Structure 1
Amino acid sequence: MPRTAYLNPSGMTTPALAAKKTDRPIGNSPECVKDYIHHIKSYMRDVCCSMRGGMGMESHYVDAHLVQRKLLIKSGKNANKCLEKELVVLSDSERKKAKLDRSQLFHNSDSKPKQSVALLGKAGAGKTTFIQRLCLDWASGSLRQFQFVFLLNCKILDLTKSTYSLKGLLFDLSMSPRCEDSDSMFKHILSCPDEVLIIFDSFDHIKDFEGLLQSPAKSHTNTKYTIKQLFSGLFQKEILSGCTLLIATRPKDVLNQVLRKMDSLLELCGFSPEDIELYTSKYFGDASLQENALKQIKTDRYIFSLCSNPLLCWTTCFLLEHQESCNDLPSTLTDLYQRATSKHLQLASLENSSLCKNRKQLDIPQLCKMAWEGFKNHDTHVNPGSSTELLGCALKSGILASYKTSEGQENHFADLFTQNLLSAVHLVQSKQVNEKMVVANSVVHQKKRKVQGESQDVLQRFVTGLVFQKASDGVSILDSSVNIKAKRKAVETHLESMKPNDLVPARLLELFHCVYETSSAKFAKLLLKNLPDNLSFYGTQLCPSDVYVICHLLRYASTLKRTFSINLQDACIPISGLKELVGLKCIKAFWAHTADTIGLWEDLHQSNDELNLKSAIEKFTLHPFKATEGYHIESLPVLVQIHREKKLPMSELVSALDKGVPALRHLQRLEFELGVQNGPELFPKLVEVLPSLQSLQHLDLEKNQIGDSGAEKLAGVLHFLECLKLLNLSQNLIGDAGVEKLAKALASVPSLQSLSPLLFMHLVSLHNSAIFPDMQVFLFSFSLIRLWNDCIPYGVFEHLRLQDPRIRSL
């Protein structure tokens, strides 16, 4: 029987899983239950013992770390009424602190049980292999809180048919062996739902996910539902309430609808540099081969950055194992996958000449067309009516994987990269595809469309790379006889017309990647010529290969005599990547997570790199500073301490800090937008740093509900802000007591020109009621009064202007 093809190379052996145990022995269960559990475990040990390429799970699995993520619900003054769901951005140091291992997957750090867990990871991160390892752990005696583990592969589930019951879902559609007495077993499962773990792998392959949580299944009996309804019922605890759900998906895709209701969000980390070395050494058994492979990978910085993705690390090792020793490593992602896929087909033809004697006899264009048709339909399934010879060779090569279903066998493309490469080959080499279609799926486009998923990003890179890549000698999926000059010219014209200044950060990053895939200095220089002076990758998570591509292209800036400011806030960039980017001569200023910036300074100081430390301190900027999340404020007190003490934490005086931190000295605008949820709690931290912001001119504190106590704290530090011109305290629940404290303090800020209207009117009322006799002197100290508020009717505003000619609109 074909294996269930849980294929993805994320690594090697670890000690046995020490999961939290409830110690509910199955000895009290009926004999038929014990026999079936033993049967399931034996079956899973057989199915889950191998990874892609035939490597053993026990010998080759690199234990992937998890990072606990939290969901951010925006509540600041610009948040929409409907809650916006995003993952809280973690600094590099926070990510390291939040790391977990497999044994902590279902661990409860609080009293709330984890009954729904999301496992997030990009394509190739090793989600499927992680789940495979988890099932093997359970089969080997760990995860003893679960009597039953049911694994469902969403690639092969049809969510539209209303023909399934809960029992059918668990026993017929999961990766479990056939149960002779499923009725008795199901009855036992209903009696102990808290001992059941249901895993939905490849959840992003669900095609019909509109209204995913609507019309949930409500009956455990033989009532027929769609799989979507059964999932909704399980997730909303309408059926089998108490069971645990583990859902693996890519972060951009279908799970976004249910993220806010998950008990736990876990992100699967890629390979660290140490993991890459460990995996490579395990892949190559021979010591001399290990040494040579590691040397080649570490020498090629682009390939090394790609290897942070476990699947790409496996692909690189496979290519090194089979390529000629004189060949250089690929320089682009397109070349890497084109070479690897071609090599897979070549090896398959050599191994079984009866199936595929040579490339000329294989209908590669047909395989590419099937990949493209699947891509358009968000489907990895291959038409069973295809050539037996073609399917046999593709299965043998590993391009396709076979899955057992209730209706027989299904063949699917093994991974996203392989399917997308073949799709790109079809677009570039098929005569049925015109230039317009090629351009539509290459590079990025100016018009704002729905945010595209990871699959579209990868396809764009491959299409752009292939139109500029020449077919290599020997066996290749590319046909060198096909003329693609017209398509190349169309892509060139599109690249030349691009306006990077109009692109949002995520699309700008994709443009960088597409230009890199061309391997063209001409287009690299053209990109840099058209880039804005202020580059922004704000909110776009940058992995090692992203950092490499950005740095590689920015090095052309010296020939164009261009310099840039770069915004790396909320980019989750590792310290090593930040160090590389900030060290570029063309970068004159950078924004980044404050904690990561301090970490960079400490790293440079510890390595005695005082010259680059001085440069990194001078390049760092905070202007304008906009705090929308708690972590934007929490690191500021440490930065202020560095500024005051002129030294880094846990170090002696640093000469580069003789004048403190320039970013604090030069900060002129600060907007505190944490809203009613976090504003009152974190406002004291802001007050703590305000005395060091002596150049501050604009302080916006609107809609934070700081109250009288917050106003009193602010009043205590306002006299330090000698340059303050604008203060917005609208909608902060400040009463008479708070205004009185502020009034006295505001009189010590002669530079102040603009106040929020309600505060100003409150001050006027205090003057009229004679509660504060010195108010008149303060009010007449304003040479100009700027009021802004959409709620002030035009007639009222005009009346105010007649009363006091100093009043102006803002």
Structure 2
Amino acid sequence: MDEFCGRVITSDEIRQFQQKLAQYEERQLNIFYEYFHEDLIYIIESLDTPSILRELNFRNLISLEHYVSIKKQCGACAFAEMLLEDIRGSGRDAMLGFWECLFVLQNDHPHPNLLGVLDELDQRGDHLEQSINLDKMGPVQPFYFKAFQLHRSILLEKMLILVEHRAPGLTRESQSFDISERYLDLIVVSSQHFRSRPQHELIATGGIHEHYLQRAQSNLERISPNRLFRWCHRKRCVPQTVLVSGVPGVGKTTLMQKFVYDWANGKLYQRFAFVFFFKFRDLNNDELSLAQMILNEYPYLRNQLDRIFQNPSQLLFIFDGLDESKSSIDFKSSQSYTNPHSIETLNVIVSSLVQQSVLSGCSVLITSRPTRLATVETSIFHRVSEIMGFLPKEREKYFLHFFSDYTMAKKAFHYVRENGMLYTFCYIPSYCWIICTVLSMCFRAQKINSASTMVFFPKTVTQLFASFLSNILLNHCQEGAIHKEHLISIGRMAEHGINSHILSFTKDDLEAFSVDTSSHLVTSFVMESGQPPHVSYSFLHLTIQEFMAALVHYLDYSPERLQKALEEAKSYKDGRGEIFLRFISGLSDSSTRSLLKPYVGELSAEASKHVLSFLQKPIEKDIAVPIWDIDIRKVLNEFACLTESRNKALVSSFIGPNKHFDFSEFYLAPLDCTVLAFILESCKGRELLDLSSCFIQTEGLERLAPTLHTVSDVRLTNNNLRDEDMSCIYSILTHPQCRIQKLSLRNNGLTVESCLPLAWAINKNKSLRDLDLSKNKLVGKEFYQLLAFFSHPACRIERLALQETKLTPEYCGWLLSLTNNANLVFLNISSNFFGNTGYPHIQKLILTHPSLKEIKVGMNDFSEETEKNLLQLQRHKPDVAIYL
């Protein structure tokens, strides 16, 4: 994000910006305000609130105290909405002052959305109103108005319905909904990070999801659908070619469907007179013309197509699913294609549209999986973005939409939220569908069965997909016997697809693996799309394909074939074998296999032994190397497989007597924290867990919480923990079996709001002796109450660090009360702001404390004379070491 570095805004630049804005009427400012509204909400939510309010207060636009109170009571989003509405309602001068405020803020807060808004206003301000009106009203279409109206109405009808597939056993039919009612916002961000991914793309994106959400508060550019073809700050242009990437099932096609629906409904980008929507999986013809490609999909445009081509700037081509194209698309192809009626390959046609050599001035929008883009030259695109999927709020909304019963929806979401392994992939809408399907079946079974009958709720991803499959098989059992050979055929084809990067299969592929599409069982896994003769087949989701690829080795065990599959999956540098390995490991668990036993009989126990033996060798080898040479990522991936297997004994035997776990300065994703929690659960009684600078945040801490109490020394230094995380820390410290003796919360984002819950936790805890709260902004009224707990005669804290916590002289008197704590032997209060006025209290503390052995008081704005006096105190108290 180097292009988003801050710069010093000069007074001349501020004056020029003021002069430029002053030329606009209030009506125009209102238009701009509305146009940028969504960006402004996000910017206000993301930037430092005190900085915004100070700037506005400085210009007498708002009451600072009033809006501080509003944010505290209503939250960031409501605060941003109210602030914008109030400024708009205050008239032209207030709006001008607000824009000036944002212009100044880019000095210290160079958020990309802020820079993009200011840049667009600066570069396009004179023509911006015209551009906004064009997107609202659209161009005039005198020649082909009837064709335009027909095309729009057909697309509106086609895109209106959002189909939600339902697994057999839940309902027979797929369910359909109005897209405007069921569509949930997906997070789209500007991104290039798909360029290199050593991990499986679902795991990699799931792992970094919370990391990106945190970065969104500082320097992550958020791109809503109505910004895809708006001014691009990076390229300094209005983009004509846009690339949207996203992992399988994350919602690329749904986003495109909503995009086209909103255009056809008159809500989005009316500058385009025609939008042509294609799926790559349906375009696997050998050769054709661009004109024929359009007419195959929209035959009613035949008589108007040449006239339509005369205005290429009014055309948008959407190509969905580059990864499903059989053709290899080279976006920098040197082959020239200029006549849309000429016959050419799909590669040349698409690359020519992107390069603007045909229909120059048209716009192109392409979607793809990240893995496909890692081998494609994408620099030619004006905007490259990635769908990150659901935020936590949207995940919960999905559950509420899926379950008609509100209580059941909340119960299901709570179950998943509490289970880190299952929650990891909930950023993917299709995964949410699978987990909701399974849980709805569990709830139904729980309701039907007696209270004494246990219902199996999945705890691992393998168990989730085993439950999903058992639900399908249960339905087929009611219709007749299940032919195991059908499942084996599906599994062999699935494995071939994983190994060969194939998501979309042809009729020939199905025949090669004896997959019979006339079987109802097969159609429960495989979807058909396209029109004859260009029909393609794909699994409901990539993860279902990966599960079936793993399952086949338990259905039809061959030592040679299994060994080869394991070695190949392990060898892939792009990580595409990771989820396959986790599934095949998870199926080694007998309780997981038992879910499928009623339908397919016993799954191979020999395959289970084979898999565990295979996993054991590399782990033993990796664990045996010196601690400083361990490849932590590799070891965590291996233990992730064991986590799926639920084999605690095996984990414990691998870890052995090692009492110290040091992950410091290694980024731990939430999924890694789930794996680490399983390791701690399997190997209780560890002495040290160092998680310093691991980017452990809310979700990661929640996943570790159930096991952190088993460790003696827990270091959470420099993890950007917040006040809201204190409830989790409270639960850890107050666990009845808590054995934490040493806890470091040094250098996090804790404020005075953390003081009371921390004080209550310390009061209840019986093991903690050493606490480091340094480099947190703890000052405030509640800090006095925390000090009161530290000063209580019953307090067990022996070592306390309050370095750089913004303490001022008025706190010195309260520090003196620490003399009541006869257990305290070490105190670090350095790097605060006591000054000479605080010296008398510190002097008395040193001289009168009954047990203090060591105190650090340096960097406190003392004069040289005061520092000398402090050192001379050792003459009177020789048993206390004083450090400046």
Structure-2 change in CA distance of 1:545 and 1:605 (3 Å):
closer
User: 1:159-558 maps to which residues of 2 (within 5 A)?
Assistant: 163-172=287-296, 176=297, 178-182=298-302, 184-185=304-305, 187-206=306-325, 209=328, 213-255=332-374, 257-287=376-406, 289-323=408-442, 324-325=445-446, 326-347=454-475, 350=478, 353=479, 357-360=480-483, 363-382=486-505, 384=507, 386=511, 390-394=517-521, 396-397=523-524, 399-405=525-531, 407-432=533-558, 433-441=560-568, 444=570, 450-453=573-576, 456-469=577-590, 471-472=593-594, 479-480=601-602, 482-485=604-607, 487-488=610-611, 490-494=613-617, 496-499=619-622, 506-526=633-653, 528-529=655-656, 533-535=661-663, 538=666, 542=669, 544-558=670-684
Structure-2 change in CA distance of 1:147 and 1:489 (3 Å):
same
Measured in 1, the distance between the counterparts of 2:774 and 2:659 equals 33
Deviation at 1:643, TM superposition (A): 7.9
User: 1:716-795 maps to which residues of 2 (within 5 A)?
Assistant: none
Tell me, yes or no, if structure 1 residue 126 matches structure 2 residue 251: yes
Structure-2 change in CA distance of 1:643 and 1:287 (3 Å):
closer
Q: Deviations over 1:393-437 (max 9, x none)?
A: 14652x111111462432221210111111112234324553422
Alpha carbons 2:275, 2:317 under 8 Å: kept: yes
Q: Deviations over 1:17-61 (max 9, x none)?
A: x99825224542414532542354245235656566424234433
Deviation at 1:462, TM superposition (A): 1.2
Task: Tell me: higher relative CO, structure 1 or 2? Use CA pairs within 8 A at least 6 residues apart.
Answer: 1
Alignment partner of 2:299: what SS? coil
Structure-2 change in CA distance of 1:265 and 1:242 (3 Å):
same
Alignment partner of 1:199: what SS? strand
Measured in 1, the distance between the counterparts of 2:406 and 2:158 equals 32
Deviation at 1:330, TM superposition (A): 0.9
Deviation at 1:390, TM superposition (A): 5.0
1:148 paired residue number:
274
Measured in 1, the distance between the counterparts of 2:676 and 2:732 equals 23
Deviation at 1:253, TM superposition (A): 3.5
Measured in 2, the distance between the counterparts of 1:335 and 1:218 equals 51
Alpha carbons 2:242, 2:382 under 8 Å: kept: yes
Match for 2:259: what amino acid?
A: L
Alpha carbons 2:156, 2:264 under 8 Å: kept: yes
Q: Deviations over 1:724-772 (max 9, x none)?
A: xxxxxxxxxxxxxxxxxxxxxxxxxxxxxxxxxxxxxxxxxxxxxxxxx
**TM superposition score normalised by structure 2:** 0.58
Q: Deviations over 1:534-563 (max 9, x none)?
A: 4378568x3x44432333324445435453
Match for 2:144: what amino acid?
A: P
Alignment partner of 1:257: what SS? coil
Alpha carbons 1:60, 1:283 under 8 Å: kept: no
Alpha carbons 2:677, 2:704 under 8 Å: kept: yes
Alignment partner of 1:231: what SS? helix
Q: Deviations over 1:137-170 (max 9, x none)?
A: 2232222232222233233443xx6513222344
Measured in 2, the distance between the counterparts of 1:531 and 1:29 equals 79
Alignment partner of 1:340: what SS? helix
1:576 paired residue number:
699
Measured in 2, the distance between the counterparts of 1:532 and 1:215 equals 58
Measured in 2, the distance between the counterparts of 1:297 and 1:606 equals 19
Q: Deviations over 1:175-210 (max 9, x none)?
A: x4x41443632x234322233222232223346648
Higher helix share: 2
Alignment partner of 1:559: what SS? coil
Measured in 1, the distance between the counterparts of 2:605 and 2:727 equals 56
Measured in 1, the distance between the counterparts of 2:417 and 2:304 equals 57
Deviation at 1:124, TM superposition (A): 2.9
Alpha carbons 2:330, 2:347 under 8 Å: kept: no
Alignment partner of 2:685: what SS? helix
1:708 paired residue number:
none
Structure-2 change in CA distance of 1:299 and 1:47 (3 Å):
closer
Q: Deviations over 1:342-384 (max 9, x none)?
A: 312433564xx4xxx3324762111212212222322234453
1:701 paired residue number:
none
Match for 2:252: what amino acid?
A: K
Measured in 2, the distance between the counterparts of 1:283 and 1:378 equals 32
User: 1:601-612 maps to which residues of 2 (within 5 A)?
Assistant: 601-604=722-725
Match for 2:588: what amino acid?
A: V
Q: Deviations over 1:653-705 (max 9, x none)?
A: 9978731279xxxxxxxxxxxxxxxxxxxxxxxxxxxxx99xxxxxxxxxxxx
Structure 2 unaligned regions, length at least 5: 1-131, 167-173, 197-207, 447-453, 734-739, 750-772, 788-799, 807-830, 833-858, 860-884
Measured in 1, the distance between the counterparts of 2:659 and 2:330 equals 41
Alignment partner of 1:499: what SS? helix
Structure 1 unaligned regions, length at least 5: 1-17, 75-86, 622-641, 663-691, 694-719, 721-810
Q: Deviations over 1:709-732 (max 9, x none)?
A: xxxxxxxxxxx9xxxxxxxxxxxx
Q: CA RMSD in A?
A: 4.4
Measured in 2, the distance between the counterparts of 1:532 and 1:194 equals 63
Alpha carbons 1:147, 1:196 under 8 Å: kept: yes
Alpha carbons 2:191, 2:384 under 8 Å: kept: yes
Alpha carbons 1:65, 1:102 under 8 Å: kept: no
Q: Deviations over 1:448-474 (max 9, x none)?
A: x63334xx2221211221233453256
Pairing partner for 1:102 from 203, 225, 228: 225
Match for 2:351: what amino acid?
A: S
